[in-house]
Structure 1
Amino acid sequence: MKPLGTLAILIGLAVPVAAAAHGPTRQKITLTTDVAATPEAVWDVIGDFQDMTWHPVVIGTKGDGGNEIDATRVLTLGAEDGPTISEVLYRYSAEKMSYSYRITDVKVEVLPVTNYSSHLTVKPLEGGGAQVEWRGAFYRGYPNNDPPEDLNDEAAIAAVSAVYRAGLDAIAARFAGN
């Protein structure tokens, strides 16, 4: 066999192996909502890293460090004895009305993600009002190939989108009619 023919066969065999070895890719989502309030009024509600009770699923927040970098919080979900999510703040700007945090501990049964980070920002809208933007980046809950349906990319995207949408809808509803 000619050397080029052998090389073509080897490349042909290697491509499926390389494709099968590829693990999960980082997922990214951004959701926004427009709010009938000043950016400052919205920031007064959501700008304290230690208090996320504005979100309808969060029934309690405990933490240390205020809004300082490396502050921590533990969110209790649904009920007093409900599941928890532990998070750490890694960027905060009251001036820019934004902060960034990452999850340090959550069970995939609660939120089917790993290596999750998020960014929450309030921006002024032209003509009045505010826009709240919630961005996230994460990997699915199952880090290996062939994830179960409840821990695949689609499940992770759907779960994070539902969390963001519930929070954004609650903020918009809070200021409706202002």
Structure 2
Amino acid sequence: MSSAISVKRSRDLATPPSTVWALIGCFHALQRWHPSVTDAHNSGEATTPGALRVLTLEGGASIAEALIRYDGHARSYEYRILCSPLPVSDYVGALSVSNTESGCQVHWEGWFSARYVPDAEAKATIASVYDAGLQSLQELFSTP
């Protein structure tokens, strides 16, 4: 990636990877598990590069994203932000689920440049987005 900043987060879940992927592996399903996303308008097949999602966030701002790579067998996809109020540009993100002995690990990472803010602030913003989503997954899958 040519972008200067990267953020990587992961979370272990005591849940089979196929169960977690059934929820997060759908590019059009972020509003079902990320607490900051209140609505989404989607177009295109959720597993086909070129699919689009426009996410409505708490407070009414929106983010437009495009799917750029999908591999259901490897349980991973990559996407690009097209338009966003976030302080980043040239953002590419990747979400994946891998096997562990006790269940699975969800990986979320992104590469980007800071826009109108110091690098540390852009990095902290993206880290907080990832952390909120991963915490939500942990809560969803730890509920009996």
Please report the TM-score for the alignment, with normalisation by the length of structure 1.
Answer: 0.76
Match of 2:9 in 1: 31
CA distance in 1, matches of 2:102, 2:121: 36
Distance between the aligned counterparts of 1:58 and 1:48, measured in 2?
15
How many angstroms apart in 2 are the aligned matches of 1:78 and 1:29? 22
1:158 counterpart letter in structure 2: A
> C-alpha separation between the residues in 1 aligned to 2:143 and 2:119?
38
- 1:63 positional shift: 1.2
- State the distance in 2 between where 1:61 and 1:39 align: 25
Query: How do residues 142-153 of structure 1 correspond to structure 2 at under 5 angstroms?
Result: 142=116, 151-153=117-119
- The CA distance in 1 between the partners of 2:79 and 2:102, in whole Å, is 28
* Equivalenced residues, count: 140
Provide the C-alpha distance between the structure 2 equivalents of 1:152 and 1:75, rounded to a whole number of angstroms.
25
Letter of the structure 2 residue corresponding to residue 89 of structure 1: L
Greater Rg by CA? 1
Q: Which residue does the alignment assign to 2:72?
A: 94
What is the distance in 1 between the residues matched to 2:87 and 2:13? 29
CA distance in 1: counterparts of 2:62 and 2:78, whole angstroms: 19
Distance 1:44 1:61 in 2: 18
Q: CA deviation at 1:152?
A: 1.1
Confirm or deny that 1:162 pairs with 2:133. no
Aligned pairs for 1:56-75 (under 5 A) are: 56-66=35-45, 67-75=47-55
Matched residue type, 2:35:
P
Aligned to 2:142: 176
User: Which fold has the larger relative contact order, with Cα–Cα distance below 8 Å and residues 6 or more apart in sequence?
Assistant: 2
Q: 1:48 aligned to 15, 18, 26, which one?
A: 26
Q: Displacement of 1:128 after TM fit? A: 2.4
Unaligned runs of 5+ in 1: 1-24, 143-150
Alpha-carbon distance in structure 1 between the residues aligned to 2:134 and 2:6:
17
Correspondence 1:86-125 to 2 at 5 A: 86-107=64-85, 111-125=86-100
TM-score, normalised to structure 2, is 0.93
Q: Name the aligned partner's letter for residue 164 of structure 1.
A: Y
Where does residue 138 of structure 1 map in the other structure? Answer: 112
The separation in 1 between residues aligned to 2:24 and 2:119, in whole angstroms, is 28
- Residue by residue, what CA displacement relative to the aligned partner does 1:146-177 show, whole Å, maximum 9, x if unpaired? xxxxx110110000000000000100111115
Match of 1:78 among 58, 72, 76: 58
